[in-house]
Amino acid sequence: MRTCHPTESLDALLARVRSCRECEAVLPLGPRPVLRISAEARLLIVGQAPGRRVHETGIPWNDPSGDRLRDWLAMDREQFYEDPRIAIVPAGLCYPGRLPGRGGDAPPRPECAPKWHPVLRAAMPGIRLTLLIGAHAQAFYLRDAVGKTLADTVAGGRRFLPEFLPLPHPSPRNIAWFRRHPCFEQETVPELRRQVREVLGG
């Protein structure tokens, strides 16, 4: 596994990540890693992989899923994108394309998180809380500790605090999930906001 050299700056690391071509042959729109890292980061947001709109704009969570996520966090776009204490690194850094014959995007490329997440986290030692959004992010970080279903993992999410907090994906495609699990909005979202305020000192 590649590691971050002690003298490598964050800018140099980011340039190295953005030049990655490991999955180029299987990415339908080519590689375009979308992430944000900061030496001041305290909160890390780990989603699944960029959607097509995010790929085209190069702005993470720049879509309806991002709108819902910011609502959960009680943040406006300005804080979400400009606060250096917030880092955004999805499980897969590039748009993976669509699932053949089905709705929705393909899962993150499996090569990506093992290759880059340890390096990126090591370069941001001030991270106090990592939000694990969706089953793929949860599987990578929580390993065998995930529940039998995403609902189980999210419902038991407080046991992973203060290091991690698992969340469902805020995609509009998951509206039925939110309706089946009203306790998420009633209980988990207020706890999420409290944890984020504590981490960011607000």
Question: Given this model, what pLDDT does residue 2 score?
Answer: 45
| CA distance linking residue 74 with residue 47, whole number of Å | 18
CA distances from 200 to 5, 159, 186 (A): 28, 21, 22
Residues near 10 by Cβ (< 8 Å), separated by ≥ 6? 37, 38, 39, 123
Residue 76 is assigned to a structural domain of this protein: yes
| CA distance linking residue 131 with residue 129, whole number of Å | 7
Residue 4 is assigned to a structural domain of this protein: no
Q: Which domain holds residue 76?
A: 10-200
Helices 189-200 and 64-73: crossing angle in degrees, nearest 10, is 70
Tokens of 46: 């780990």
Residue 151 is assigned to a structural domain of this protein: yes
Question: Given this model, what pLDDT does residue 106 score?
Answer: 95
The position carrying tokens 């340039």 is 15
The rounded average pLDDT for each run of 10 residues, N- to C-terminus, in the chain (202 residues) is: 63 96 96 97 98 96 97 97 98 95 87 97 97 98 97 97 98 95 96 97 74
Tokens of 151: 């609902």
Residue 155 is assigned to a structural domain of this protein: yes
Question: Given this model, what pLDDT does residue 8 score?
Answer: 83
pTM of the model: 0.94
pLDDT tens string 119-165? 999 999 999 999 999 999 999 999 999 999 999 999 999 999 999 99
Judge contact between 129 and 163, C-beta under 8 A: yes
Residue 135 is assigned to a structural domain of this protein: yes
Residue 188 is assigned to a structural domain of this protein: yes
What is the radius of gyration, based on Cα positions, of the chain? 16
| CATH number of the structural domain spanning residue 16 | 3.40.470.10
Residue 187 is assigned to a structural domain of this protein: yes
CA-nearest of 131, 175, 126, 129 to 153 is: 131
| CA distance linking residue 10 with residue 24, whole number of Å | 24
| CA distance linking residue 73 with residue 196, whole number of Å | 7
Give the three-class secondary structure for 45. strand
CA-nearest of 195, 182, 156 to 42 is: 195
Sign of CA dihedral 82, 87, 90, 93: positive
Question: Given this model, what pLDDT does residue 126 score?
Answer: 97
Residue 79 is assigned to a structural domain of this protein: yes
Number of domains in the chain: 1
Q: Are strands 43-46 and 129-133 parallel, antiparallel or unpaired?
A: parallel
